[in-house]
Amino acid sequence: MIDKRLALACLLLATATPLHAHLLKVFAFAEGQRIEGRAYFAGGARAKGAAVEVLAPDGRVLAALRTDDEGEFSYRASAPVDHRIRVDSGDGHVAEWTVHGEELAIESPRADDPDGAPRSNEPTGTATEPAATARTTDMAAPADLDFLIERAVARQVRPLREQLIAYEERVRLHDILGGLGYILGLAGLAAWWRAGRRRGR
């Protein structure tokens, strides 16, 4: 009876790894006004042709996309709000990721704008006043600089975040396999001890 239990446990251990390796994962980040992302399986394979939905905070579907051959997708956001990314591989595997609004380099609409669109800085004088034009250029420069800095930082941080997520997944898989191995070891030790007692009788 004990041998049958051990065989069943070994079978479960053998099938646990492939099942875990096919779990769908998605990673997305903001780069300026765009949301870039990648869908993949826990084993490292890219999720090609997976359906991607970009959802607004209220659940509305903002865009329906497909991943390319590398499992990647891209979306241009129009407002600095949270965007929930939902990926479906079509075989029962679904993964989600949220890109927060503060990560997007998009200017929020001003309350005094009737159309809700952000305004550019406009000179208060005539076009022949160089001082007013200079002031406008000086006011716009910091915003442009912030945008360039945020985009550069996002590009540098992206591989680090991807490596961290991949490392966490490997650690989880290692812990699961280690725990199963520990349980099987205890079961084998108990079977050996019981068999020794029977021989002693």
Query: Using one digit for the tens of pLDDT, what is the confidence trace for 48-63?
Result: 999 999 999 999 999 9
71 occurs within a structural domain: yes
Cβ atoms of 117 and 109 closer than 8 Å: yes
* Confidence class for position 17, pLDDT limits 50, 70, 90: very low
Both 26 and 96 in a single domain?
yes
191 occurs within a structural domain: yes
What confidence score (pLDDT) does residue 116 get? Answer: 41
138 occurs within a structural domain: no
Q: Which of 77, 106, 135 is the last residue of a domain?
A: 106
* Confidence class for position 125, pLDDT limits 50, 70, 90: very low
128 occurs within a structural domain: no
Both 93 and 149 in a single domain?
no
4 occurs within a structural domain: no
Distances (CA, A) of 193 to 2, 52, 182, 197: 12, 54, 17, 6
Q: Which of 9-13, 45-49, 93-97 has the lowest mean pLDDT?
A: 9-13
Q: Which of 81, 106, 131 is the last residue of a domain?
A: 106
Both 26 and 102 in a single domain?
yes
* Confidence class for position 98, pLDDT limits 50, 70, 90: very high
132 occurs within a structural domain: no
Q: For the chain, give the percent of residues with pLDDT over 90.
A: 28
Q: Which domain holds residue 180?
A: 143-196
The whole-number average pLDDT for the span 63-74 is: 95
Distance CA 77, CA 105 (A): 10
* Confidence class for position 31, pLDDT limits 50, 70, 90: confident
Both 100 and 148 in a single domain?
no
Q: Which of 91, 106, 121 is the last residue of a domain?
A: 106
Averaged pLDDT score across all residues of the chain: 72
Q: What is the Cα gyration radius of the chain? A: 27
171 occurs within a structural domain: yes
Residue 46 is part of a domain; what is its CATH number? Answer: 2.60.40.10
> For the chain, how many structural domains are there in total?
2
Q: Does the pLDDT value for residue 194 go beyond 90?
A: no
What confidence score (pLDDT) does residue 184 get? Answer: 78
Q: Which of 84-88, 101-105, 138-142, 176-180 has the lowest mean pLDDT?
A: 138-142
Among 18-27, 54-63, 116-125, 140-149, name the most confident range. Answer: 54-63
Q: Does the pLDDT value for residue 15 go beyond 70?
A: no
192 occurs within a structural domain: yes
Distances (CA, A) of 171 to 14, 165, 168: 18, 10, 5
Q: For the chain, give the percent of residues with pLDDT over 70.
A: 53
Both 25 and 85 in a single domain?
yes
* Confidence class for position 35, pLDDT limits 50, 70, 90: very high
Amino acid symbol at 164: L
Both 93 and 148 in a single domain?
no
